[in-house]
Structure 1
Amino acid sequence: MRVVVRTFSELCITVGTVIVLFVVYVLFWTGVKADTAMDDQIAQLQDQWARSAVASGPREATATESPGAAPGKPAAYKDGRPFAVMYIPRLGFTWNKPVLEGTRTNTLKKGLGHYASTARLGEQGNFAVAGHRRTYGDPFKDFPRLRPGDAVVLTDGTTWFTYRIDTKPYRTLPRDTAVIDPVPKKSGYTRAGRYLTLTTCEPEWGHSHRLIVWAHLDATEPVEAGKPEALRR
C-alpha cells in the first residue's frame, strides 16, 4: 500500500510539474518569442523602406491626400512576409504590430495576418486582418476595448492610412466568413467602399467564437508629412 501511495504521489507531482511548465510556456515563453519575432518583422520593414527611399529619392508630397489615393502601386504581397505596420492608440501609444500576408499558424506567430482573399491596404474593398487574442504576444488581448470612432493607423512605408472604427466588437462563429466580404452585411455598410475588418478569437482563452470590428478609410497622408494626427500625443 505504501508503494502504491508513494507512486501515486510522485505521479501527481510529475503531472503537476508538467502542467505548470506548459502554462509557463503558453503564458510567457510564446510571448517572448512572438515579441522578438514581431520586432524583427518591423525592423525588416523599416530597413526595406529606408533602402527604397534612398533608391527612389524624395517624392513631392501634399499636406493631405484623399482617402485611398495611395502614391503608385506597391509591390505584390508575399505569403508569410510583412508589408505594413499597424497602430491602434486605444490599445496603447506603444502598441504597434507588423502585418504579414496570410493567416497560417506560423504567420500569426510573428504578427497580424492579412486574409489574402481580401482587398489590399487602402484599396477599394475590405482589407481584413486577423490576430491572436492570447498567446504569441497577445496582440489583440484588449480587443473588447475597441469602440466606434477609434483610429486604426497603418503604414506601408510610403503612406499613412487612417481608418475609423464604426462598430463595437461583434461576436460571431468561425464559420461566419461573410464578415470579411467586400461589403459585410452585418457591418451596417450598404455600398462599396474602402473598409477594414479586424478579427480575433473569443472567449479570451478559447476559440469557439470570433470578435469582429469594422472600420472605414478616413484619410491617407504621405509619410513625408509626418505622423497622422491620431498618432500624435
Structure 2
Amino acid sequence: MSWSRAATRLGLALVLAGVTVLGYVGWQTWGTTWVSQREHAAITDRLEQAWAADPVDPAEPADPADPAVGGGVPEGAVEVDAGVAEAIVEIPRLGADYRVPLLEGTSDEALAAGIGRFTGSAAPGGVGNLALAGHRVTHGEPLRDMPALEPGDEVVVTTRDAVHTYVLDTGGDDLEVPLTETWVVDPEPVDPDGGDVVPAAGQRRLLTLTTCSELFHTDDRLVAFGHLVSSEPRRAL
C-alpha cells in the first residue's frame, strides 16, 4: 500500500471519527432537549387529565405534608416512565409558556423528564424545604436561564389540590457551591461558612432551586432560595 493511499484512508477515518463525535455532541445538546421537551408537555398533559378525572373535594382542603417514602403514588400524582410526576412548575420570568413537570427524586430519568424534587424534601406547600434540581443544558434544560432569575421572581408549583406560589429571596446566580455542599437542600439551610446568601429568616416553608453553574460539565451548582407566600385551591378547568 502506498503512503499516499494510507494517508488518504487515515484522513477519512479521522473525518468519520470527527463527524461521529460532533453528531454525539449535537444529540446530547439539542436532540435530548427536543425529546425531553416533548416529554415535559406529555407529562403535564397527563397530570391535568388525571386531575380533571379526579377533582379535589372542596370539603377536604389540601394538607401539604411530606409524602411517606415508599408509600406508593401520592394522591393527585401519576406514574410515568421516569417515576412519579406530582406537580407542574411555572416560572414566569422564564416565559409565559414555561411549564415543567415536577417528579419525585433526582435520578437521571427524573431529571430527563422534568424538574426533580430531592428525596425527603418538603412536598409542595409543605413545611420545610422544597428542594428542586433541573438540568441547565441537555434533557430539556429547564433551568438553562437560571442566572436570569432575580429576587422577587415567582415560582409557582401546582398540584391537583392547590397552587403554591413561592417568591425568590436570592438571585439565580447569587450563590455557587460545590456539588458536595448539601446544606443547601437541608430542611433549614444554614451556610456553615456564614455566607450572606441564605434563605429568608423566619420562614418555615422554603424553596431551593439548584442547577449546574456552567452550561457544560461542572462539579459546582447554582443555588437560589425562596419562600412560600400563598397556597390557593386549584380551580378545576
Distance across 2 between alignment mates of 1:182 and 1:105: 23
Once the 2 structures are TM-superposed, how far is the Cα of residue 24 of structure 1 from its aligned partner?
Answer: 2.1
Alignment pair present for 1:122 and 2:125: yes
Which residues of 2 match residues 66-215 of structure 1 at below 5 A?
A: 71-72=62-63, 75=74, 80-168=83-171, 169=173, 170-186=175-191, 187-191=198-202, 193-215=204-226
* Higher relative contact order, structure no. (Cα contacts within 8 Å, ≥ 6 residues apart): 1
The residue type paired with residue 171 of structure 1 is E
Distance across 2 between alignment mates of 1:47 and 1:119: 25
The residue type paired with residue 172 of structure 1 is V
Asked if the contact 1:183–1:190 (Cα under 8 Å) also holds between the matched residues in 2, the reply is no
Once the 2 structures are TM-superposed, how far is the Cα of residue 23 of structure 1 from its aligned partner?
Answer: 2.2
Structure 2 CA distance for partners of 1:95 and 1:188, relative to 1, 3 Å: closer
- RMSD of Structure 2 on Structure 1 (CA): 2.2
Aligned counterpart for 1:216 among listed residues 227, 230, 236: 227
**SS of match in other structure, 1:109:** helix
Distance across 2 between alignment mates of 1:155 and 1:192: 20
**SS of match in other structure, 1:81:** strand
Once the 2 structures are TM-superposed, how far is the Cα of residue 36 of structure 1 from its aligned partner?
Answer: 1.7
**SS of match in other structure, 1:139:** coil
Name structure 2 gaps, 5 residues minimum.
66-73, 192-197
Normalising by structure 2, we get a TM-score of 0.84
**SS of match in other structure, 1:185:** coil
Distance across 1 between alignment mates of 2:153 and 2:203: 21
Q: Give the corresponding residue for 2:27.
A: 25
**SS of match in other structure, 2:21:** helix
Q: Give the corresponding residue for 2:69.
A: none
Which residues of 2 match residues 32-43 of structure 1 at below 5 A?
A: 32-43=34-45
Deviations 1:24-72 (A, max 9, x none): 211221112101211121111111100111xx55x269xxxxxxxx624
Q: Which has the higher helix share?
A: 1
The residue type paired with residue 96 of structure 1 is R
The residue type paired with residue 220 of structure 2 is H
**SS of match in other structure, 1:213:** strand
Distance across 2 between alignment mates of 1:9 and 1:180: 51
Normalising by structure 1, we get a TM-score of 0.85
The number of aligned residues is: 215
Aligned-residue identity in percent: 30
Name structure 1 gaps, 5 residues minimum.
62-69, 227-233
Asked if the contact 1:83–1:156 (Cα under 8 Å) also holds between the matched residues in 2, the reply is yes
Asked if the contact 1:131–1:200 (Cα under 8 Å) also holds between the matched residues in 2, the reply is yes
